[in-house]
Structure 1
């Protein structure tokens, strides 16, 4: 298998067939295209999700909080409680661990999240820190949306721009390499995109409008992978218009330099959502009032095999990424 998420067919065949006992309180368990699971306790539902940080050396504590918080927010629920497992390579200093914990603390305070537990250890089996987070939120019964809630004919929308997280990671990890060919100001602007990685406001406010049927957080595999995953969950197809997809100038320039596809670059910071066509403008206006730019980029179809993109006057299949473009980009900026 290639670096990145385990392919859907292997998840379905190997992972999803080995899930322990059935529990009636689990109202949404592991499935393709869903960012978290749902556990009902009396009149409330707990949203639980886990995600690692493996592709970045910088800001990993900060990223761990935000990436896991984003998964909970795709249900329209605010994240509240966070646990973290920190694996450190041999030789890590207390000061380096302290830096990671400061990042976790600052990010958690920004989102009003309590860090309630975790684990840390030194291991000889890795050469860089690896963090795995576990986030929880709570809501009332029926006060959430899921990826499978998308409906045929829905408009497909996205917030902000594509490949936000991947652009920031490449700018931070490859500053010395990229500034040889791209203006220093562009790379600094790319690095600042990290400030847009949270989609908690996007998800909670979008749900509050009452317009959205489904939301999804496109992480590994980028926007293209995220659209496929949302349609996997809802058993739908899609048509997207490439020219309508907002791609920030720093993202475009870095991807051109590294010869990678911005639609396949990890895209935390973007929220994909669907709503009825008649509510598109109202949703865009409501999101704008909260400072979140939102763009309609296509529509959902009833045929789950119909997964198309309009580009340069042609209609092509939008292929599911087999690996995230981040890994190719990192190899090119650091070939050793």
Structure 2
């Protein structure tokens, strides 16, 4: 299983919830500051494309217990970044997990921002920036068939409610290797060849309006076992007497927390989707597809008999503990297997 971004293992958030909105004679009240996620985005136009540069988005939460929790973009705690203690007189002592010790002077804290100084300069932390609303990034193993045998690659997916700038949506693999993601109906996707399946870190980078943001994603080596295409026995056929209904069958995939997804899209344009299901469990490996099949998208009535379309079955291994009906399920994927065939509908 992988854990998304320890977004901010480093200096970041000494701050804790909400304080007085009046900075006159400011006095820090730690009881009002705990339990709030504070964001510090250090990404700029100068460092957004660098993998080794550590100026990444930090999200940290101060607990009353004295722990500093690293939080990912979905608001899920994914690490303990360090500890803190109140020294009085607006001073916080912070011991980071990496061994660094910091002394912070809290200069101001409102319900929307926290201003601190660590002796090297001033930093301003804020509650969630609007341009990060529903931003998610996911890296996962992609298994495609080459000469009938599954071949693993590394896949990437970024989505956001705000428009992202083409050419600036990247998956950074190293300082020498990055992948520009392509826009598929406001979901940005890409893939990269790999030498081996292993635990690794990915850094996503994107530009949203005039703002740049870079954040971490961690993926483990958990993947589907190697398989042959014949093991799956993926078939589809038009039901007798029902020219607009497709009957699909396949064998169950090995692995835990595995679900399935069905899609139909234009042969030459994956973004031109005519059907997309949600995730569903294995039910004897049978699926009926027609104009009435419930899905996220169903435009099968608009299929042009003069054009060709692709039918794709995706086996989806979710991260451990993620429910298939969760709103975050499709941004918490561990691995997928793609199996495609020519779509017979409209023929």
Question: What TM-score do the two structures reach when normalised by structure 1?
Answer: 0.26
The answer to which structure, 1 or 2, has the higher relative contact order (CA under 8 A, 6+ apart) is 1
> TM-score, normalization: structure 2?
0.25
- Greater helix content: 1
Q: Per residue, is there more strand in 1 or in 2?
A: 2
